[in-house]
Structure formats: C-alpha cells, structure tokens
Amino acid sequence: MSTQPYKIFLVDDHTLFRNGLRGLLNSREDCEVVGEASSGEEFLEKLPECDIDVVFMDIAMTGISGDVATARALEMRPDLKVITLSMFGDEDYYFRMVSVGAKGFLLKSSDIDEVVTAIETVAAGGSYFSQELLDSLVSCLHTTPQPAPEVAIEDDESLSERELEVLLEICKGLSNQQIADKLFISKRTVDKHRANILAKTGCPNTANLVVYAIKHNLVEI
C-alpha cells in the first residue's frame, strides 16, 4: 500500500528559487508541490482553498514579511505546519518566526535530504532546526547583546543533570524515542523530562525551547 506524498506549498518572492525547490521536491515520490505564492498576501488569498501538509515560508519578502504571513495563516489554520527557509544574516527573523509558531528552520543552502527530513519531522508534529542554522544562531547570540529574558528559570526549579542531557538532544533534533535509545532510558521517562523542561522554562513548544536554551547558554550546540 503506497503512502500519499506530502502536499507542499512554497512561499518565496524569488521565482528561480521556487522553480529549483519545486523541481527537487516533485522529483521525489514522497513529495508533491501543490501550490506556490510569490508573496505573503498571495499565499493568504490561496490558503482557504488549499489542502496542505507543509508550507515553506521565506522570511524577507516584498509586502508582508514571512512572520506576519505565518501568524495570519495560523490564525486561519492552527494545524498548519510551517518551515522557514532563508539565508545567513536573518537570525533576528528566525526568533520572530519561532514566536509566531513556525516549526521548521532551514537555510536555503540546505541539501534536499535535509529538506525532506525537515518535512517528515514537522509533518509528524515535531520541530526541526538545521545544524548549520543552530551554529549561526549560537554565533549571533554570543556576539549580539541580548535583552533580559521574559522568562527565567527559578533557582528552586533549575534543570537537573538528566534534564540538561535531554535538552541537549532535543536541540539536536532527536525525537523522544531517539533520545530514549541514546540515553538508555524509556520513552515515557523522556516524555516526562520534556514536559518538566517545558514547564520549568515556560516555553510553549520545542522551537521556543531550542532558542531559550541557546540564549541562556544551557547547551553547547
């Protein structure tokens, strides 16, 4: 029994890039580009009529930016899965995309295998950060003065050594089952650790947690 391909929508104001990504995705049996838009406004107009699994969203576009388009799209379709695609130097936009609910984060230099991994991870309900992007975010945060955090871990709620181990693997993009296998503990235990980490940090989801961990030097990527 064959598996239905992931239905992909591309939002980017560079036609050449869209053409290239469409060609790579459509060359695979597990992906199908079902729609495209050259602006956030065009995407929002087409969204109500589209059956989509994953959206690839550019950040800096003519008209409304990717974070604004994502926020409005998620108001219309809360279950929508959005992957951000952009270039080095757009780190500030990535933090904004995290805050509005994007789940995947890739650089436009990513190869097709990583793009497909991101699609699979995000479509399954997870979050995905490319290692190259994580390195860029770490560099940016370490060289740019950061405002005081809105949420801080209380002294009596500091993360345990095991929770820090789990957090590091979360930041590497591992699933709960993969973390359990690597740390030789049960998936149920990892589930509990992840829930505790989210509660202690005040982060609503994994993408926010990754940024939080980097900003607060809780992990070394």
Q: How confident is the model at residue 88 (pLDDT cuts 50, 70, 90)?
A: low
Q: CA end-to-end span of the chain, whole Å? A: 40
Highest mean pLDDT of the ranges 40-44, 130-134, 166-170:
40-44
pLDDT of residue 140: 63
Summarised one tens digit per residue, pLDDT across range 143-172 is: 554 444 444 454 446 889 999 999 988 887
User: Considering only 33-37, 59-63, 184-188, 191-195, which range has the smallest mean pLDDT?
Assistant: 59-63
Judge whether 82 and 73 are in contact, CB under 8 Å.
yes
Domain ranges (residues) in the chain: 6-143, 155-215
Q: What is the share, in percent, of the chain residues with pLDDT greater than 90?
A: 52
Encoding tokens for residue 86?
Answer: 């952009």
pTM higher than the cut 0.95: no
Using alpha carbons, list the distances in angstroms from residue 162 to 81, 168, 190, 192, 194.
30, 10, 10, 11, 11
CA 215/CA 201 separation, integer angstroms: 12
| Identical fold between 6-143 and 155-215 | no
pLDDT at 137 over 70: no
Among candidate residues 204, 212, 73, the one with its CA nearest the CA of residue 137: 212
Judge whether 184 and 197 are in contact, CB under 8 Å.
no
Question: The domain 6-143: what is its CATH number?
Answer: 3.40.50.2300
CA 80/CA 172 separation, integer angstroms: 23
Which of the 8 DSSP states describes residue 49? G
Amino acid at 142: H
pLDDT of residue 138: 65
Question: The domain 155-215: what is its CATH number?
Answer: 1.10.10.10
Please, what is the average pLDDT of the chain?
85
Which of the 8 DSSP states describes residue 54? E
Summarised one tens digit per residue, pLDDT across range 169-204 is: 888 778 889 999 999 999 999 999 999 999 998 887
For 48-70, what is the mean pLDDT? 93
| Cα four-point dihedral sign 160, 163, 168, 171 | negative
